[in-house]
Structure 1
Amino acid sequence: MTDCRLDVLCIGNAIVDVIANATDDFLDAEGLVKGSMRLIDAEEAERLYSHMGPAHEVSGGSAGNTAAGIAAFGGRAGFIGQVAPDQLGQFYRHDLTAAGVEFITPASDIGIPTARSMILVTPDGHRTMNTFLGAAQHLPASALDEEQIRSAKILYLEGYLWDPETPRYAMVRAIEVAREAGRKVAFTLSDTFCVDRHRDGFNELIDGGRIDILFANQAEIEALAGIPHLESAVAAVKDKVETLVVTRSEDGALATRGSERADVPAEPIGKLVDTTGAGDLFAAGFLLGSARGRSLEESLRMGAIAAAEVIQHYGARPEADLKALAGDLVE
């Protein structure tokens, strides 16, 4: 068996977040609805980008955020995702690598630019998001480094990437490689939108015993089970996976493994600023705890610590020292 070089290897959409301040007048002039999220094409992405003011760029995407969180804890994280050989693609690779994440997936020149989400922040703090999924949606199975997959204790996949057909094949292949190597496979449902569109596909993965650790928030687990009641939904799903993790925002989180169950409260915070990335960072803490052999409760606490840190500032990347915040949990 290959030695475990990595604690967690994450697969997901490689998206650059381009964040700029904007006035209400600018939103009106661009025909944008404040606080909304819309998917846009390459032409609109270039047009809007050229109109925006000075911007702050950060490598984003759900699984990318999780990988960066694991690295911030001092863990060994890797990322698989598709960028183009363009300026934003180079930035994404540099930014994620600088955060301590191994990102060796080659760029792909298929005439589609690197994904970006233009996030316009008005003075009242509202975020208006314009997302172009670009090259991220074209991750082929041929881009996988199968040795990298074998070398990770846990393979973590985001449900968002299940939507397009090409990366779905890549994810299925990655799961096969991980399972053949005796590694754990973790999966996040990502969004109720993903669950509603792919309930059958997700259930096929879960019922087939190909997912060891399943992440969901309360709305997602209820949608997957088709039961609008938390405890009933947990009961319906928990025996299909080795470990089930359900986050509940300010109500904390729970995890089950066989007959074992742990519940933790949310960590206290000073001020809620921006909930972007809370679930991604929670997954980072829990996954690293699992990879390092921590108990269910300790892993949940690590997740809660990371989520609490990231919601107290803008952006989905930790700014405080997660390793220091977690203390002896990561020793």
Structure 2
Amino acid sequence: MTVPMPKKIIGFGNPLLDISANVDQAFLEKYDLEADNAILADEKHVPMYEELAKNYKAAFIPGGATQNTMRVLQWLLQKTPGLTTMVGCVGTDEYAKIMSDQAEADGVHTAYLRDADTPTGTCAVCITGQHRSMVANLAAANNYKESHLDSEGIWDLVKSADIGYISSFFLTVSPPTIQRVAKHFAESNKLFCMNLSAPFLPQFFKEPMAAALPYCDIVFGNESEAAAYSEANGLGLTDVGKIALAIAALPKEGDTGVSRMVVFTQGPDCTVIAKDGNVTKYDVNRLDESEIVDTNAAGDAFVAGFLSQVAKGNSVEESVRCGHWAAQLIIKYSGCTFPPTCEFK
């Protein structure tokens, strides 16, 4: 019996080169950072990237939320390279080459817009024990333009993809791109997915998020992002399951034949899924704390695990199981890195 090829997935987001290093509490205080938080860099954060690269044993890893998910997805699928495609904007510098070479080596097709006038975006991943604080300096990633869709065969890649995915970080960059791509997926009855990504996004980018949500078949997030969405939209809800139900019930465009699903993770606590007016909870097998190296990219890996099984046509239960497995594997490594061979069964 021939096993069918998994569906193709295209991701739009902010390609960033992660500069990942173990730091101390004094470093966090110096740059006014909080553990387990993700923010955009402002002027006071600019010196930290050079400081990490020069004074700490920093690792350079292809990053950015969407790119993390595409890399882990390709690794999980372990099939022909190019089942996953990453679209975003980078510079033409050495950082862009490092990132592109590593992502392509992982089997991800990188369809970057290249900006010769702006350096490649970076993300400082400041690790303290089992916690991380991420500070993204978007740089070139902030310069993605919708016009890129009509060049370099990008729209052909969109049309050939079966699943579309964005992180909400991309809402800060190019809402017109999101709208155009999302509408294509809705009109073509294909699956479109979005991740809430960070609490500040539903708080401060409420309008572009509201514009994108009607096109979303699957919405991912975690408990803090759910709470931020509830507060920003005046839902008056604190229960994660009820917030998930409220998002699932929002108006929906397109006719993929499925109702919207909302998937909220809660770290070591149960994953909550809302669909068709019902909430289902999936327990997480807790890791021993001694196994946890770095929680960076755990959420991105969960999405990759989940979508890898969706791409194979497997059940929601199997999708959650793979999501939990991928997240737990990633946090055993520093940064968004993984062993050569995927052993998920």
The residue type equivalent to 2:332 in the other structure is Q
Q: Is it true that 1:281 corresponds to 2:288 in the alignment?
A: no
Aligned residues: 314
Supply the distance in 2 between the matched residues of 1:126 and 1:39 (Cα, whole angstroms).
Answer: 19
Deviation at 1:141, TM superposition (A): 0.9
Could you give the per-residue CA deviations for residues 117-139 of structure 1, whole angstroms, max 9, x where no partner exists?
Answer: 234556x5665655321001111
Contact 1:246 1:255 in 2 (8 A): yes
Q: Partners in 2 of 1:152 and 1:229 — Cα distance?
A: 35
Partner-residue secondary structure (3-state), 2:249: helix
> Is 1:80 matched up with 2:98?
no
TM-score by length of 1: 0.84
Name the amino acid aligned to 1:93: S
In structure 2, what residue type is equivalent to 1:69?
A: V
User: 1:258, 1:201 → 2: CA distance?
Assistant: 25
The residue aligned with 1:195 is 202
Q: Are residues 1:223 and 2:228 paired?
A: yes
Q: Distance in 1 between matches of 2:295 and 2:264?
A: 17
Post-superposition offset of 1:65: 0.5
1:99 is the counterpart of 2:137? no
* Partner secondary structure for residue 284 of structure 2: coil
Compute the displacement of 1:5 (Å): 8.4
> Who is 1:114 aligned against?
120
**Gaps (5+ residues) in structure 1?**
none
Separation (CA, whole Å) in 2 of partners of 1:49 and 1:112? 21
What is the identity percentage for the equivalent residue pairs of Structure 1 and Structure 2? 22
Displacement of 1:21 after TM fit?
Answer: 5.0
For 1:1-331, list aligned pairs within 5 A. 7-20=8-21, 27=27, 31-33=30-32, 39-40=41-42, 44=47, 47-48=50-51, 51-74=54-77, 76-109=83-116, 111-121=117-127, 127=132, 129-144=134-149, 145-164=154-173, 167-206=174-213, 209-225=214-230, 226=235, 227-240=237-250, 242-258=260-276, 262-270=280-288, 271-319=291-339, 321-322=341-342, 324-325=343-344, 327=345
**TM-score (norm. length: structure 2):** 0.81
Give ranges in structure 2 of 5+ residues lacking alignment: 251-258
Q: Matches of 2:24 and 2:268 in 1, distance apart?
A: 31
Task: Name the CA shift for 1:218/1:151 in 2 (closer, same or farther; >3 Å).
Answer: same
CA RMSD of aligned residues (A): 2.8
CA drift of 1:68 comes to: 0.7
- Alpha-carbon distance change, 31 to 191 in structure 1, aligned in 2, over 3 angstroms: closer
Q: Is this contact kept in 2: 1:285–1:306, CA < 8 A?
A: yes
